[in-house]
């Protein structure tokens, strides 16, 4: 059991989650209403099942009085006396049959309740999960920049599970408690109103005790949750950074930290347990007191007539009904704290889920998007400025044009903004000022699907999924034939090494492609883009992780692939871009030089200095360049 203190996420998601009001009502209206018939059936079956359980004690009471003690005639509620048998043995067997039937009805309705409530919960969760996932896919990259993967996983997994517990259990348990308390009260009052008051006086105490328990235990649960969070972080960091832990020889320190964190969790759990184990015995004690009081007063009543303050008759059968029903009160009421707990958890989870739905989608599809099938490939940036964080301008008035088929190279020191320029073309982010155009259309007006199909992108950090080599190359072009996949791999100089892998194209690459070298991963990513056959190609350090020999090979195939396509290449190794039609040297978010390799060498500025570095002519570098380089590497650490 854990309580649902609201732990919101970080960044924009956290802010949105804090603002959510009435999350469960909102989720119910959006997702529960269409499935309300399952809920209705489940709740009705729950009421029916618990009403049926009341039949047994009632019939037992009547049978004892009519058949065994002969204290009163054989009567059944809602059944005309004329229909009932007069012979005692027939009455006995009728009672047996009715008790058997009520047990059967209870079992069947419990099954119906279980299935209906489960289907209701699973359907609602299914809808929420796919909507949340779809929403995630539409959010822009700045959302993902601010969030940890674990947080999103937790919303999609833990929070939906919390909701499931609430939808599945809490609703039907609440109805069950109501049905039982109301049903038992009706039967007891019907049997003997005076004794019923004595017996039921315990109910408000049970509710009050539960309320007290929840209040006292809540802060301890808050501590427990934070200890669990710390443990998860410790495990996550330790495992994801396992290579660093090993190479930095910090395993002992990590183990000690784990021990500390785990011990903290142990203490918090014991703290909670001490109190949690008070609850059930406390509830049992209270209902036990009610049972004992009923037993004393009822017993005296049966033996020697009404005790002082009471009047009328109490038969043995009626007494038995009381004793049986008081015991039935305990179990459902002991669920009260679970219900409050499920509710609190579900509310907190509902807030986290609704918060995710409330994060605005900033990269919108235009309302009247332009189609970009078979683009010519003219790429223009006009006065483009951009900041990831407000007030921190990363790109400043970037303007350039790449005519169809041309190759434009972006070079410059680390952190100059080269990758950012590339990301704006794909609308991973939108420019704050100015416009990025393809074939004269602002990318913000182009159909997003067309845009991303028209631009083939090999990013700096190669992204591979845990699948086979062939699946990774085919990703995005799922209909491509095996031969086309091989052809693309050949063009990316990947075919030979793929064939040498244990299962060739069917070799699994591992999570993030861990089973391949950096250069192999890059070549698979290149093959993927070659297979995409896009009109515009964006290569961000696409050959950075390969050796010079492979680079020369890839360069040869890239030259083939990019001849008649517009290409934007970002590269630190200037030898790979010296033949570009135009080279743009970026520094601090501004284009400081532009021209061909020869022109820029002649200009003897930033590019010429970068070139000297790579030619190993560091002695001839001006001092300002070295100072500048040291500053920019510092600002990017």
Ligand X SMILES: Nc1ncnc2c1ncn2[C@@H]1O[C@H](COP(=O)(O)OP(=O)(O)OP(=O)(O)O)[C@@H](O)[C@H]1O
**Site pattern 61..90 for ligand X (x: CB under 6 A):** ------------------------------
The minimum distance between CB 447 and ligand X, in angstroms, equals 25
Provide, rounded to whole angstroms, the least separation between the CB of residue 30 and ligand X: 32
Binds ligand X by CB under 6 A, chosen from 97, 157, 401, 414: 414
Q: Please identify which residue in 63, 102, 110, 420 interacts with ligand X, judged by CB under 6 A.
A: 420
Closest approach, Cβ 536 to ligand X, in A, equals 18
Which C-beta is closer to ligand X: that of 416 or that of 577? 416
Find the shortest distance in angstroms from Cβ 585 to ligand X. 11
In whole angstroms, the minimum distance from the beta carbon of 542 to ligand X comes to 12
Q: Is 579 in the site for ligand X (CB under 6 A)?
A: no
Nearer to ligand X, 320 or 571 (CB): 571
Among 360-368, 372-380, 415-423, 602-610, the segment contacting ligand X (CB under 6 A)? 415-423
Can you list the alpha helix ranges (DSSP code H) found in 492-605?
495-500, 518-532, 548-562, 597-603
User: Cβ of residue 432: shortest distance to ligand X, in angstroms?
Assistant: 13
Interacting positions 8-37 with ligand X (CB under 6 A): none
Footprint of ligand X on residues 373-392 (CB under 6 A)?
388
User: Taking contact as CB under 6 A, which single stretch among the options 239-247, 275-283, 345-353, 411-419 is the one that binds ligand X?
Assistant: 411-419
Question: In 3D, which of 117, 163, 133, 155 has the Cα closest to residue 9?
Answer: 155
- In the complex, the smallest distance separating the C-beta of residue 554 from ligand X, rounded to whole angstroms, is 19
Tell me how far CA of residue 394 lies from CA of 253, 309, 357, 419, 628, in angstroms.
Answer: 39, 86, 29, 11, 17
Q: Write the interaction track for ligand X spanning residues 134-153; mark x where CB under 6 A is met and - where it is not.
A: -----------x--------
Q: Concatenate the DSSP letters of all residues of 418-477 into one string.
A: HHHHHHHHTTSS--SEEEEEETTEEGGGB-HHHHHHHEEEE-SS----SSBHHHHHHTT-
Q: Does 636 help bind ligand X (rule: CB under 6 A)?
A: yes
Q: What is the DSSP string of 369-396?
A: PBP-TT----EEEEEEEEESSTT-EEEE
Shortest distance (Å) from residue 414 CB to ligand X: 3
Please state the separation of Cα 556 from the chain's center in Å.
Answer: 44
Give the sign of the dihedral formed by CA 68, CA 72, CA 73, CA 75: negative
Q: Nearer to ligand X by C-beta: 195 or 606?
A: 606
Nearest to 170 by CA among 356, 1, 357: 1
Stretch of 7-15, 410-418, 487-495, 617-625 contacting ligand X, by CB under 6 A: 410-418
**Residue from 362, 431, 445, 365 nearest 399 by CA:** 431
Q: How far is the CB of 577 from ligand X (least distance, A)?
A: 13
Give the count of residues interacting with ligand X (CB under 6 A).
13
Q: Using the rule CB under 6 A, which residue among 30, 88, 250, 419 binds ligand X?
A: 419
Q: Does residue 418 touch ligand X according to CB under 6 A?
A: yes
Closest CB to ligand X among 392 and 479?
Answer: 392
What is the rounded distance in angstroms from the CA atom of residue 456 to the CA atom of residue 471? 17
What are the φ and ψ backbone dihedral angles of 636, each rounded to 5 degrees? -110, 15
Stretch of 36-44, 210-218, 320-328, 409-417 lying at the interface with ligand X (CB under 6 A): 409-417
Long-range contacts of 491-494, Cβ-Cβ distance < 8 Å, separation of 24 or more: 491/527, 491/530, 491/557, 491/560, 491/561, 492/523, 492/524, 492/526, 492/527, 492/530, 492/554, 492/557, 493/523, 493/550, 493/553, 493/554, 493/557, 494/520, 494/523, 494/524, 494/526, 494/527
Q: From the CB of residue 477, how many other CB atoms can be counted at a distance below 10 Å?
A: 16
Which string of x and - marks every residue 442-481 that binds ligand X (by CB under 6 A)? ------------------x---------------------
Residue 551 or 587 with smaller CB distance to ligand X: 587
* Residue 350 engages ligand X in binding (rule: CB under 6 A): no
Token pair listed for 396: 């400043």
Secondary structure (DSSP) of 130-197:
HHHHHHHHHS-HHHHHTS-HHHHHHIIIIIHHHHHHIIIIIHHHHHHHHHHHHHHHHHHHHH-HHHHH
What is the rounded CA–CA span in Å between residue 564 and residue 101?
Answer: 82
Quick one: 324 or 629, whose CB is closer to ligand X?
Answer: 629
Nearer to ligand X, 418 or 486 (CB): 418
CB closer to ligand X, 72 vs 628? 628
Q: Is 415 among the residues that bind ligand X (CB under 6 A)?
A: yes
407-411 sheet: strands from edge to edge: 455-458, 536-540, 566-570, 407-411, 582-587, 590-595
Q: Which is nearer to ligand X, 202 or 591 (CB)?
A: 591
Q: Of the listed pieces 318-326, 416-424, 432-440, 476-484, which binds ligand X according to CB under 6 A?
A: 416-424
Q: Which is nearer to ligand X, 113 or 418 (CB)?
A: 418
CA dihedral 121, 127, 128, 133 (to 10 degrees): 140
What is the spatial distance between Cα 36 and Cα 33, in angstroms, rounded to a whole number?
A: 5
Least distance CB 396 / ligand X (angstroms): 12
| Contact stretch for ligand X (CB under 6 A) within 47-55, 59-67, 351-359, 417-425 | 417-425
Q: Would you tell me which residues interact with ligand X (CB under 6 A)?
A: 145, 388, 394, 412, 414-420, 460, 636
């Amino acid at each position: 059991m854990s309580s649902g203190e609201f732990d919101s996420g970080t960044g924009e998601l956290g802010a949105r989650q804090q603002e959510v009001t009435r999350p469960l009502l909102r989720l119910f209206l959006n997702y529960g209403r269409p499935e309300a018939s399952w809920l209705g059936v489940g709740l009705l079956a729950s009421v029916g099942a618990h009403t049926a359980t009341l039949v047994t004690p009632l019939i037992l009471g009547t049978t004892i009085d009519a058949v065994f003690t002969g204290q009163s005639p054989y009567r059944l509620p809602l059944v005309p006396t004329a229909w009932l048998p007069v012979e005692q043995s027939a009455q006995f067997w009728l009672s047996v049959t009715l008790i058997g039937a009520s047990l059967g009805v209870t079992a069947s309705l419990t099954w119906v309740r279980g299935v209906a409530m489960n289907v209701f919960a699973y359907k609602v969760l299914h809808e929420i999960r796919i909507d949340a996932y779809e929403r995630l896919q539409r959010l822009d990259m700045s959302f993902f920049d601010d969030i940890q993967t674990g947080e999103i996983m937790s919303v999609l997994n833990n929070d939906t599970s919390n909701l499931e517990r609430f939808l599945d259990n809490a609703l039907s348990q609440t109805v069950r408690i109501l049905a039982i308390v109301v049903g038992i009260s009706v039967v007891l009052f019907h049997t003997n109103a005076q004794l019923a008051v004595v017996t039921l006086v315990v109910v408000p105490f049970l509710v009050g005790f539960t309320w007290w328990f929840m209040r006292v235990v809540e802060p301890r649960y808050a501590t427990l949750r934070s200890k669990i969070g710390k443990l998860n972080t410790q495990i996550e960091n330790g495992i994801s950074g396992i290579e660093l832990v090993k190479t930095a020889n910090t395993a002992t320190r990590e183990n000690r930290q784990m021990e500390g964190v785990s011990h903290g969790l142990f203490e918090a759990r014991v703290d909670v347990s001490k109190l949690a184990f008070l609850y059930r015995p406390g509830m049992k004690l209270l209902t036990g007191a009610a049972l004992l009081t009923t037993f004393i007063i009822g017993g005296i009543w049966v033996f020697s007539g009404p005790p002082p303050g009471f009047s009328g008759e109490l038969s043995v059968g009626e007494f038995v009904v009381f004793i049986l029903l008081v015991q039935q009160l305990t179990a459902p009421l002991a669920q009260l704290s679970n219900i409050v707990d499920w509710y609190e958890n579900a509310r907190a989870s509902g807030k986290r889920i609704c918060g995710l739905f409330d994060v605005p989608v900033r990269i919108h599809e235009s309302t009247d998007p332009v189609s970009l099938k078979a683009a010519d490939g003219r790429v223009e940036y006009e006065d483009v400025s951009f900041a990831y964080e407000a007030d921190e301008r990363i790109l400043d008035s970037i303007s350039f044009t790449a005519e169809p088929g041309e190759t434009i190279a972006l070079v410059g020191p680390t952190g100059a903004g080269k990758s950012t320029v590339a990301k704006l073309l794909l609308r991973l982010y939108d420019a704050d000022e100015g416009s990025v155009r393809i074939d004269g259309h602002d990318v913000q007006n182009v159909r997003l699907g067309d845009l991303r199909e028209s631009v083939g992108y090999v990013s700096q950090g190669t992204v591979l999924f845990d699948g086979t080599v062939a699946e990774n190359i085919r990703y995005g072009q799922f209909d491509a034939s095996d031969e086309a996949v091989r052809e693309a791999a050949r063009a990316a100089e990947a075919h030979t090494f793929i064939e040498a892998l244990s299962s060739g194209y069917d070799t699994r690459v591992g999570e993030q492609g861990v089973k391949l070298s950096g250069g192999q991963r890059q070549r698979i990513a290149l093959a993927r883009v070659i297979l995409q056959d896009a009109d515009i190609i964006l290569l961000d350090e696409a050959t950075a992780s390969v050796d010079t020999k492979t680079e020369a090979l890839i360069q040869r195939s890239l030259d083939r692939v990019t001849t008649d396509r517009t290409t934007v290449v970002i590269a630190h190794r200037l030898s790979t871009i010296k033949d570009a039609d135009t080279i743009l040297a970026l520094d601090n978010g501004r284009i400081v030089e532009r021209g061909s390799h020869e022109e820029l060498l002649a200009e003897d500025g930033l590019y010429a200095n970068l070139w000297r570095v790579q030619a190993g002519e560091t002695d001839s570098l001006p001092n300002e360049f070295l100072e500048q380089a040291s500053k920019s590497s510092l600002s990017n650490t």
